[in-house]
Amino acid sequence: MHIDHQPNMDGLVLKIENLSIAFGGLKAVDDLSFEIKENEVFGLIGPNGAGKTTAFNCITQFYRPDSGNIYFKDRKGKVQNLLEHGVHEIIELGLVRTFQNVELIRELSIIDNVLIGAHTDFNATIFDQAFRLPRAVKEERRMRQKAYEILETLGIEDRADQLVGGQPYGILKKVEFARSLISDPKLIILDEPAAGLNDTETMELSKRIRRISKELNCAILLVEHDMRLVMDVCDRICAISFGKFLAKGTPKEIKENKDVQVAYLGIEVTENAEE
Amino acid sequence: ACSNEPADNSTAGGESEGTEAPQDALEWAQGITDTQIIVANSAATSGAFAPVGVPFNAGIEAYFKKINGEGGIQGRDIVFTHVDDEFDPVKGKAALSSFVEDEKVFAIVGHFGTPVVAATLEDLKEYGIPAVYFATGIGQLYNDKAEGRERNIFPVQPIYRTEGQIMVARAVGDFGASKIGVIYTNDDAGKDMLWGAETMAEQLDVELVIQQVAAGATDVSSAVTTIKDAEVDFVIGAAIQATIPTIIKELAAQSVNKDVITTYVNVSPVIAEGVVNEINGKFDVYGNGWVSFEGERANALAEFAEYTVGYETNVYAMTGWIAAHFFVEGLKRVDGVITWDTYMDALEESPINNPFGGQIDFGNGLRAGTQEMNLSKINHDNPAGEWVEEKPLQSIDSILN
Amino acid sequence: MSTFLQVVFRSLETGSIYALAALGIIIVFRTSFITNFSQGVVAMFNTFVVTYLFRTMGLPLWLAIFGGIISAILVGFLIDIVIIRHTKKVSPVAKQIITLGMIMIVLGITPLLFGVDPLRLPRLIEDGNLTLLGADISYNGLFNIVFGIAVMVTLFYILQKTKVGLAVRATASNEHTAKLMGVPTKTVTLGAWAVAGVLGVLSGVMAAPMTSVTLNLMDEIQINALIAVVLGGFQTFYGPVLGAYIIGIGRNLLLYYGSSVWGGQILYILILVFLVFRPHGLIGKKIIKKV
Amino acid sequence: MRKNKTLLKIENLVVRYGAVEALKGINMEVNEGEIVAILGANGAGKTSTLRTISGLVESSGGSIVLGDQDITKTEAEKISAMGIGQSPEGRQVFRDFTVEENLKIGAFTIKDKAQIESNFNRVYGYFPVLKERKNQSASTLSGGEQQMLAIARALMGSPKILLLDEPSLGLAPLIVQDIMDIVKEIKQEGTTVIIVEQNAAQTLKIADYAYVLELGQVKMHGEASKLKNDPHLIEAYLGAH
Amino acid sequence: MNTIKKIIKNPYAHFILLGVLLLFVPVLAETGIFKVSYITTLGGAFIFAIAALGLNILLGFSGLISLGTSGFMGLAAYVSAYVTMDMNLPFEVAFLLAVLIPTLIGVLVGLVSLKIEGIYLAIATLAVSEVLRKTFEEFDFFTNGFSGKNAQYPTLLGTFELDRTGMYYLIVVVLVLIMILTYNLVNGRLGRALNAMRGSEAASQAMGVNLLNHRLIAFALATVYASVAGVLYVHFIKYSYPSIWSLKLSLDFLAMIIIGGLRSIYGTLIGALIVFAVPDIFLKQLPYFNQLSYVLNGVLIILVIIFYPHGLVYARYDIKRLFNKLFKKGA
Ligand SMILES: Nc1ncnc2c1ncn2[C@@H]1O[C@H](COP(=O)(O)OP(=O)(O)OP(=O)(O)O)[C@@H](O)[C@H]1O
Ligand SMILES: Nc1ncnc2c1ncn2[C@@H]1O[C@H](COP(=O)(O)OP(=O)(O)OP(=O)(O)O)[C@@H](O)[C@H]1O
Ligand SMILES: CC(C)C[C@H](N)C(=O)O
Ligand SMILES: [Mg+2]
Ligand SMILES: [Mg+2]
């Protein structure tokens, strides 16, 4: 694909331009544009079926959009059009995601699941691994240590060697989170990270998201229906409906936006969120 | 599993070299005790080949029962041990090593199936243990001057390649065919018969129309259509039991109406019964035979039937019976100490008669199995299935002259 | 032309046999999530039962077939109750291996019960030919085709249009949730094994007169039925039937016009290539897993 | 205070998954026409309770009595036919079925065609988006749409007792509100509801009675209106990590 | 003290210990404690275990099912026989070629696997295997058709002439080596990536696992293992026959890894013994049941799967429990 214009990405990490994708006759994402600044927490909200997950899937190349561009400033500061990369190449550029329905490997231990996130950071070849050459051994040890440290920051290091299968939902969510952290990303995409968490856990999550964004120097793109979390952690929010742009602004602006209230929030919940 | 009583010191090598040695210097071969002569085979008696292996072994056992009932050999009973090798060379090889090295049997009787036989032929020769009758027709068994380490191989059964030659010879010699259709299965039987047929057709300068079908196929219609289109004047059904009825029925269904000849394996009332209704009034089905049920042989058949209840009409049981017969005939000829060498000498001494007709000569190291075959035909009038003999045992040369 | 038709007619009959066998495989697959490698040998066993009733017990053929159907139902029940019900914790691949175990059991038991001789089973309609456009087709062959299609149409109707069908498909899609909805999944699975058994014995009884009743009766049919299911796709019930007829006809055309040696293999390769372009068969489509 | 007669009675229920004891002998009573909430942290055993009631999980001890019938060992499909409907955890829609077929299966135990028809109208009324998508394959629905489908499917069977496992999971705030309203509405019609939720405050608002589970045991129970204001609740049991 | 503990705990020590124990089989056979036939039966089982280990990587770890194992194993067997017997080249050359050629085809199938999945892939590989088997039957010049192809015990490095026992030793050494390599491969980055691919294609891709590469690697490894097994087979049995390399054998490989335990190295070995050796060493020795050994083996397979759906390796927990129980009672 030939890029005829290099977008200006000063201060930005991701820039979506006129993104569209349709399934059959249904326009799931319709001419959507937004941009995310470096190190900010950005919320994407909208009614069920608005196209949020679909937008994520376009960004991470699980879907090929019908039109539009997706620019990303990679680890080295180089601007990349994500459409030119395969799904498995995205993480190397510095963009990592979690999944709306947890996607973990039940038969592996928690720490091994986290290590999968570091897949692209290994240098040892198959040959090194097969014969356990010192290079491979050292590398493995180093990565394991790093994974362990991440589990520590999430407070689940005591479970590091337990299998993922059979763990409660809240732990699974944390493991997914840990897995996205180990690759030192520039942008993390979180799809409904608070779903299935109780009130206390949601509060914890909200603190953690802020901390991570600061400590790791990365931006976060968040989809979530739990308004307390969204309002609490997001610097800016974009609301969409039927695949189309609806409103953009600070949490306060969004909360007060009439369109968003009608299409998404409902009056009572807005009150709740203010409590 | 076996009793190792006295005089059982000879090892696998068969070290008693000189046949001229005085009797008292000879040691009894392994597997022979005061009361028993132990022999063995491994065969597929389970799985898809059970229909061949089970009756075959039943035939062997029946014959030994008869012999033991008659007082055994030199007062010893013949004890037959068997292991199921599932038609698998690894299992067959393991079984053979155990027979010879652990159980120290005297001989292998009725070594079974192409893959196992081919995988263990070298081992047999190395052991030097007499092996009488091979339930397979592979070419490796053939030898016209077996000496030294090769002497211990005694094939009896006709070789499919020979049979293929005989079929073409019959087609030309007896039926005056000049364009012959060959439908062969893609297994060793079919392919070896095809090989024989092609060789003979070249010699006799007749045309073959060749079609392959899968062994065990249920739909052979396209092959038959091809044969029909070619307007052949005779058909060779180079297929063993499972597939030959399919071929014959399809030939009838498509009204090809040319006479068919097939292998001795199929000359069994069961096969005749399976197809007689379909061919009735349309064409004849002939079969090669290496056994004859006519005349004086009828007695042999009655005796066989008496001992093999349940398998009275089974060709594989009959071949098992023949296998045991050849083994025992050799034993009977040894008087005094039985060693591997005295036994093999006895087998080679003079031709041995097949109880159902014909004879085999192992003299001068000849190892060629059965060379003469007769011709029988399915009797259209007997719905229960019957083959009637048309022509006596003949060699290829005599068929063509 | 008439030769071509001849090949096609004859293949239609074989196609019907493959189709019945394929339906048996798919119905079990869709309810128990098992690729049933034992469909063929179980059919072979029940065909032996028919042959036994006919030859040894001297029943009329139609009654013997009826007996075979009863036996197929009983064997189906037995398999479900004794084995399949106890495989809740067993993964789909492991269940396939269970069917391998069943093959061994049936292959071991059949000769013990019915002897080792190849047996003859006559056709339902012994004589008579219909000549159509210069090609022959026997009344029995015609009957097989029509009967096979009738069975399949009935099955389709039941599966697609009735509540029973809904129950079967729901069980296939997600057994646990189907239970939650009140679908008697155990009965569905039990029924599926019985129906598969009946389809099997029908295919066996159709195939037997062309050959003879032996342990290997269904070997070729089993492989071709499996491939038919894949060619047609596992997601519908009519895809495999279509696949079966395509294989029946395609195989014979390739054998006849191509090579009698390599025809079958050429067909396999063609199907392989086809699958690369349509990985879920003729009818199947990829079930999208949304993330 | 709980005036209606007991419809479902759980006594000393024990559930094990291999070595894990998920329920360690719990007791619960659900009265006719009530909304009963089950609350608790992750892994407390809420889902296990519902799955055992509906017969998907075998109990290792204790009993469940529906009306005067012991259903502890009854099979799931029979329990469903007795009028217990469930919207399960993880949605569990029939992925390769269309939306409409999913709903049809929901009405599997209903014989009366007119009743099915009216149930269709009713759930399409609750969730218009499902009507728009009725021929779409369930696997391609958005997360929230699938959740709606799961709830609608449970309603299609006109259950006497409705079990909802985290019905609001993944739904937009507006729809969560709708769900709560629907639950209230069907209660009015005489349906008994057992609801498992993470959002305690919101759930207690509509519930009559609530049980709080922790590590497989009932730690607290009482009328919702009272529990709502119990400071212990939030502090001690809902944030157990 | 501590170092001893370390050694006892060391997985490599276990593999090597196992190998040493297995090396004693021929000695025991010579002294008459074991039957001589055990050498062949066990050697055969170990060869099958090697191929099954490859399939375990493919199915257990990557979740890709193949019914083509026997075809590839057969191809390697024929290549090795042809190169040594007809071309008169050294065993080592034959070995290399016999691994290389099937692996190339295996990688081709791996390419196809990117598009075809699950049961479709199983049947597709079955088709490949059937085509291979057909070539074994028809290409007489190469395979000697239905007469079967003979081979000889190999001579290593042109000097060490192996006999039956020597070949058995070689098999054990290769088996242990392959077990160790497998252990290394699956307990590291590759193992994790393959696991991820099976567990969640989406997640693994999002984490940077290149599906195509890893599927190819998995197929290549499975084919290399099958090929090594094929070479050992043809020089141990000294024979190859077309219909050995059938669907039945491929299903047997599946049975081995499932009975033993998916993703378990020892399990695979146990599975191979149960499927291949137990019938010969035990079932066929049972009086009266001799005729039923086939049936019994089928029953055994079904029972094991029902009671140990995750493989017989899990029986060790039950054995431990039983042991504890007995021990406690006794105390
Ligand atoms: N593969 C597909 N085929 C057809 N329709 C699809 C497909 N994927 C998504 N859709 C439709 O596109 C719309 C957008 O779906 P998407 O999953 O992006 O919604 P969402 O905003 O993430 O909703 P939720 O908050 O409920 O998760 C939905 O209406 C869905 O039904
Ligand atoms: N299939 C299973 N195998 C093993 N353990 C299980 C299984 N299902 C549940 N558990 C365990 O049982 C306990 C209770 O689980 P349950 O799903 O009932 O909790 P819950 O209260 O619904 O939690 P959540 O809020 O996360 O949905 C947990 O410790 C869980 O890990
Ligand atoms: C089954 C055997 C006795 C015959 C078969 N044709 C073979 O030689 O292999
Ligand atoms: Mg979504
Ligand atoms: Mg739950």
Atom of ligand 3 nearest to the CA of B114: 9
Instruction: Annotate B285-348 with DSSP letters as a single string.
Output: EEEEESS--STTHHHHHHHHHHH-TT-TT-HHHHHHHHHHHHHHHHHHH--S---HHHHHHHHH
Q: Is the pLDDT of residue C168 over 60?
A: yes
Give the range among A166-175, B236-245, E142-151 with minimum mean pLDDT.
Answer: A166-175
Nearest CB to E294 within list B47, B115, B119: B47
Q: How many CA atoms lie within 13 A of C152 on its CB side?
A: 27
Give the chain E residue whose CA is nearest to the CA of B136: E147
* E181 Cβ contact list (under 8 Å, min separation 6): A130, A131
CB contacts of A53 in chain D (<8 Å) are 142-143
- Are residues C272 and E124, on separate chains, in Cβ contact within 8 Å? yes
| D8-54 per-position pLDDT tens digit | 999 999 999 877 888 999 999 999 999 999 998 888 899 999 999 99
Q: What value does the mean pLDDT take over residues B304-320?
A: 90
| C204-245 per-position pLDDT tens digit | 999 999 888 999 899 999 999 999 999 998 877 788 999 999
User: What single-letter amino acid sits at D40?
Assistant: G
**C291 inside domain:** no
* C16 Cβ contact list (under 8 Å, min separation 6): C144, C145, C147, C148, C149, C206, C244, C245, C248
Q: Which of C68, C44, C64 is nearest to C56 (CA)?
A: C64
B7: left (phi over 0), alpha (psi -120 to 50) or beta: left
Which residue CA neighbors atom 2 of ligand 3 most closely?
Answer: B113
* C111 Cβ contact list (under 8 Å, min separation 6): B50, B51, B54, C215
| Three-point CA angle E191, E195, E199, nearest 5° | 175
Q: Is the CB of D47 under 6 A from ligand 2?
A: yes
Quick one: which H or E segment has residue A209? helix A199-215
How far are the Cα atoms of B275, B285, D115 from residue B386, in angstroms, in the given order?
Answer: 11, 11, 71
At least 3 CB pairs under 8 A between chains B and D = no
Tokens 């070729």 appear where? Answer: C220
* C251 Cβ contact list (under 8 Å, min separation 6): B219, C11, C224, C263, C264, C267
Report the domain count for chain E: 1
Q: Is the CB of D22 under 6 A from ligand 2?
A: yes
CB contacts of B97 in chain E (<8 Å) are 36-37, 39-40, 164
- Are residues C216 and B216, on separate chains, in Cβ contact within 8 Å? yes
Phi/psi at D67 (5° precision): 60, -115
In angstroms, the CA B332 to CA B132 distance is 14
Print the domain residue range for E155. Answer: 2-330
Report the domain count for chain C: 1
Beta bridge partners of A244: A241
Do residues A230 and A199 make contact, with C-beta atoms less than 8 angstroms apart? no
* B242 Cβ contact list (under 8 Å, min separation 6): B215, B216, C118, C211, C212, C214, C216
Q: Which of C169, C218, C133, C152 is nearest to C16 (CA)?
A: C152
User: How many A from CA of E311 to the centre of ligand 2?
Assistant: 24
Report which DSSP code applies to A51.
Answer: S
Q: Is the CB of D44 under 6 A from ligand 2?
A: yes
Print the domain residue range for C79. Answer: 2-277
**C288 inside domain:** no
* D183 Cβ contact list (under 8 Å, min separation 6): D35, D164, D167, D193, D195, D206
**C290 inside domain:** no
Atom of ligand 2 nearest to the CA of D213: 21
Which residue CA neighbors atom 1 of ligand 3 most closely?
Answer: B113
pLDDT bin (cut points 50, 70, 90) of residue A166 is confident
In angstroms, the CA B212 to CA C186 distance is 46
Atom of ligand 2 nearest to the CA of D44: 21
Best mutation target, E56, E105, E113, E120, to test chain C (most C CBs within 10 A): E120
Q: According to DSSP H, which parts of chain E are helical?
A: 2-9, 11-23, 25-30, 37-55, 69-81, 91-113, 118-138, 140-143, 164-186, 189-199, 201-206, 211-236, 247-260, 265-272, 278-281, 293-307, 315-330
Helix axes D143-156, D173-188, angle to 10 degrees: 10
Which residue CA neighbors atom 25 of ligand 1 most closely?
Answer: A48
**C180 inside domain:** yes
| E197-239 per-position pLDDT tens digit | 999 989 999 999 999 999 999 999 999 999 999 999 999 999 9
Quick one: which H or E segment has residue B75? none
CATH number of residue C65's parent domain: 1.10.3470
pLDDT tens, per residue, chain E with 331 residues: 577 787 778 889 999 999 999 999 999 988 888 899 999 999 999 999 999 999 999 999 999 999 999 999 999 999 999 999 999 999 999 999 999 999 999 998 888 888 888 888 988 899 999 999 999 999 999 999 888 999 999 999 988 999 999 999 999 999 999 999 999 999 989 999 999 999 998 999 999 999 999 999 999 999 999 999 999 999 999 999 998 999 889 999 999 999 999 999 999 999 999 999 988 888 777 777 767 778 888 999 999 999 999 899 888 888 888 888 877 655 4
Phi/psi at A48 (5° precision): -60, 135
| Three-point CA angle E67, E73, E77, nearest 5° | 155
Q: Whole-structure pTM over 0.80, yes or no?
A: yes
Instruction: Annotate C147-189 with DSSP letters as a single string.
Output: HHHHHHHHHHHHHHHSHHHHHHHHHHH-HHHHHHTT--HHHHH
**C127 inside domain:** yes
pLDDT value for B95? 95
Residue ranges and CATH numbers for the domains of chain A are: 1-94+184-275 (3.40.50.300), 104-183 (no CATH)
Nearest CB to C280 within list E65, E120, E252: E120
Q: Is the pLDDT of residue C274 over 50?
A: yes
CATH number of residue E184's parent domain: 1.10.3470
Of D93, D96, D141, the one to substitute when testing ligand 1's pocket (max ligand atoms within 8 A of C-beta) is D141
- Are residues C290 and A53, on separate chains, in Cβ contact within 8 Å? yes
Do residues B252 and B278 make contact, with C-beta atoms less than 8 angstroms apart? yes
Long-range contacts of A136-145 (CB under 8 A, 24+ apart): A136/E188, A140/E188, A140/E189, A143/A115, A143/A118, A143/A182, A144/A111, A144/A115
**C181 inside domain:** yes
How near does any CA of chain B get to the CA of C53, in Å?
Answer: 16
Residue ranges and CATH numbers for the domains of chain D are: 6-238 (3.40.50.300)
* C69 Cβ contact list (under 8 Å, min separation 6): C198, C201, C202
Beta bridge partners of A71: A15, A81
| E19-46 per-position pLDDT tens digit | 999 999 999 988 888 899 999 999 999 9
In angstroms, the CA B307 to CA B55 distance is 12
Tokens 């349309």 appear where? Answer: B282
C7 and B CB contact within 8 Å:
yes
- Dmax (CA) for chain D in angstroms is 50
pLDDT value for E286? 75
Q: Which two tokens stand for residue B128?
A: 């030097």
| D121-163 per-position pLDDT tens digit | 999 999 999 999 999 989 889 989 999 999 999 999 999 999 9
Tokens 């089905």 appear where? Answer: B285
pLDDT value for E61? 94
- Are residues E209 and A119, on separate chains, in Cβ contact within 8 Å? yes
Give the range among B101-105, C116-120, C283-287, D107-111 with minimum mean pLDDT.
Answer: C283-287
pLDDT bin (cut points 50, 70, 90) of residue A4 is low
For chain C, how far is it from start to end, CA to CA, in angstroms? 54
**C165 inside domain:** yes
B191 and E CB contact within 8 Å:
yes
Length of chain E: 331
Q: Is the CB of B113 under 6 A from ligand 3?
A: yes
**C156 inside domain:** yes
User: What single-letter amino acid sits at B287?
Assistant: G
D23 alpha carbon, closest ligand: 2
Q: Is the pLDDT of residue B330 over 70?
A: yes
User: How many A from CA of A49 to the centre of ligand 4?
Assistant: 7
For chain E, how far is it from start to end, CA to CA, in angstroms? 28
Which residue CA neighbors atom 6 of ligand 3 most closely?
Answer: B189
Q: What value does the mean pLDDT take over residues C180-196?
A: 92
For chain A, how far is it from start to end, CA to CA, in angstroms? 50
Phi/psi at D167 (5° precision): -65, -25
Q: Which two tokens stand for residue C157?
A: 């109707």
* E227 Cβ contact list (under 8 Å, min separation 6): E72, E73, E75, E76, E98, E99, E102, E103
Q: Which two tokens stand for residue A227?
A: 């308004």
Instruction: Annotate chain D with DSSP letters as a single string.
Output: ---SPEEEEEEEEEEEETTEEEEEEEEEEEETT-EEEEEESTTSSHHHHHHHHTTSS--SEEEEEETTEE-TT--HHHHHHTTEEEE-TT----TTSBHHHHHHHHTTT---HHHHHHHHHHHHHH-HHHHHTTTSBGGGS-HHHHHHHHHHHHHHT--SEEEEESTTTT--HHHHHHHHHHHHHHHHTT-EEEEE-S-HHHHHHH-SEEEEEETTEEEEEEEHHHHHT-HHIIIIITT--
Please state the separation of Cα C93 from the chain's center in Å: 20
In angstroms, the CA C25 to CA C37 distance is 8
Residue B224, classed as helix, strand or coil, is: helix
